Structure 1
């Protein structure tokens, strides 16, 4: 009997999504990256039950876009190098016999991006606390995934007491997007959720991005400050992420 994929289920429930919600998010992600898919609730059920050990690449890429995590952390079997096992030898993500006759998924020409940013980065930003009358720095190790011109970064849970996510778009050397941070429930901000915008300039080496964030404070004033991402490792394997899943301070 196949072992259930508890990792994928934990990620989905952590995002507060039903299986239907998750399937719709996968379809939307497929359209955004130019690879439409037919994800549905039944498919999500089969992944979580372990009936399907590895999704086809079109679904793997959508899973990474939706969760912001590499496929190696989603409980699926993968071949060396982090690539998800393909279905060239008869495996399918659908149960119906007609799946062999399904219309091939159309693909569009990928957006030209001349630099790969995928890997582990150190995220570091500065902010002023009016309540404490001093400036502080927030630091996280984040795993950054790239799909065309879109970048998603999610903090490794052991790297800080808060959790951080970034959703970015690359346009040449300019990286623009949004950030969300869920603060430590036992910390000064008592689990408050903050969010805002960010714009960075990537250095030609592709090993550092620097710019500024903007967002609201606890008194509903608009604040800003410096933010940088510094490259650490190109690998997103489980072993690498385990190594960086430690305090970034």
Structure 2
């Protein structure tokens, strides 16, 4: 007799928090697969089956896309098991834990070649400086962020307890040069009253792999373009729930 898994409320909560419908989420997963060179056939029905608990674990190709879209490790996305623990060895990346007649089959992915050797995955302290013209002074923004890596792509997402604002970064690695974009949703009760800011960032990774430093660029409240220093300092290589819980505290 088969056992029905409990609904995946964690994944549903994360999706809703991203203000995405199930269709939107599926399209984002498809786009993420194309970006990392692993196309997938994510659709609304698949998202529904994950959230209902009908599928206990996503295929590895979907697990990687889920991490890219959410910026969180698969172990935190509420699945009853994680890829690799209960999958058949079909030489093509495993199967979803569902019936053999599933219509959600995915073509064998063809990963794009990459020359990335350094791993940046783990917990980092993100720290940037900015000048507030309204207050006439300089300030620092600090967050603990979890960095996930898929080939030459990095995603960084702030831990919610590390700051009143939320921060995300989507980056590409080219040797020691790391380039991408950032988005910050400011504290609704703070000086900027929940305003959303975004811009670009370029960092240089030190040979030790323990620090990235560079500059950000972004717009101000008067639509002027500002810039300032930004650094990420390595803290822990683990992205386990226990590790993230330990760093889910104020970074100041």
Q: Please say whether Structure 1 and Structure 2 have the same fold, judged by a TM-score greater than 0.5.
A: yes
Query: Contact conserved, 2:40 with 2:107, CA < 8 A, in 1?
Result: no
Q: TM-score, normalised by structure 1?
A: 0.93
Please, which of 11, 14, 18 is the counterpart of residue 15 of structure 1?
A: 18
Distance 2:248 2:39 in 1: 33
Distance 1:148 1:134, change over 3 A: same
Distance 1:84 1:248 in 2: 34
Matched, 1:192 2:214: no
Q: Which structure 2 residues correspond to residues 98-109 of structure 1 after superposition, within 5 A?
A: 99=103, 102=105, 104-109=107-112
Which residue does 1:41 correspond to in 2? 44
Q: TM-score, normalised by structure 2?
A: 0.92
Report the RMSD for the aligned CA atoms in angstroms.
1.8
Matched, 1:177 2:180: yes
Q: Which structure 1 residue ranges, 5 or more long, are not aligned?
A: none
Please, which of 235, 238, 241 is the counterpart of residue 241 of structure 2?
A: 238
Query: Contact conserved, 1:55 with 1:84, CA < 8 A, in 2?
Result: no
Could you say what secondary structure the match of 2:155 adopts? strand
Shift of 1:242: 0.3
Distance 2:21 2:140 in 1: 36
Which residue does 1:143 correspond to in 2? 146
Query: Contact conserved, 2:26 with 2:43, CA < 8 A, in 1?
Result: yes
Which residue does 2:87 correspond to in 1? 87
Shift of 1:106: 3.1
Which residue does 2:231 correspond to in 1? 228
Deviations 1:2-60 (A, max 9, x none): 21101100111111111111111111111111111111111100100111111111100
Shift of 1:96: 6.8
Which residue does 1:5 correspond to in 2? 8
Please, which of 55, 60, 66 is the counterpart of residue 58 of structure 2?
A: 55
Distance 1:76 1:235 in 2: 19
